[in-house]
Every structure is written in C-alpha cells, then in structure tokens.
Amino acid sequence: MCDQGLRGVASAPLIWRVPHQMVVSDFQQAINISKKIDNCRGVTDGGRLLAQSYEHEGNLPGALNAINDAIEANTKVPDGLYLVPVN
C-alpha cells in the first residue's frame, strides 16, 4: 500500500529506499523497547528485520549479532504461545 505513489520508480521495497542508518536505528530502538517490556516476540521479529538490514548494507557481523539476539529471545517465548497439537 505504501509503495503506490512510487510504483514504477524503483523496484526495491520501500524499506530499502530509506537511508540505512535510519532503518537500522529504528529497528534497534524497537528491539530495545521490546526488551524493556519483556516482549520476546518483538525482539525476534525486530531482530530478523535488523539482520536483513545489516545484510543489505554488507554488515555481516552486525547481522549475525542480530540473529543471535533473536534466537536467544526466541528461547524465552513460552511454549503456550505456539500452536502445538495436543495429541
């Protein structure tokens, strides 16, 4: 929906047309807020997006750190939040 005004101008998703420092900063802030309120899902989702942002700019160590943080947060998500069959 957000891309409608830019259709045909650039084929990259809107997120990659924003300066990388802004994207990385926003994802880091979202992850920090999620950590403060113990929102492990927010940390895992934000970590995934942060890792993609780092990868897009060629910062592979940063991407790996974001992935590791997301994996660590994912281990703290209670089992009850997943859809697990009873039988």
Angle formed by the axes of helices 60-74 and 20-36, to 10°? Answer: 20
**Residue 51's pLDDT is what?**
92
CA 81: distance to chain centroid? Answer: 19
Q: What tokens were used for 10?
A: 């650039």
Helix (H, G, I), strand (E, B) or coil at 13: coil
Helix (H, G, I), strand (E, B) or coil at 82: coil
Q: What is the pLDDT along the chain (87 residues), one digit of tens a residue?
A: 333 333 444 444 555 556 667 788 888 999 999 999 988 889 998 999 899 889 988 899 999 999 999 999 988 877 665 566 666
Q: What tokens were used for 45?
A: 């989702």
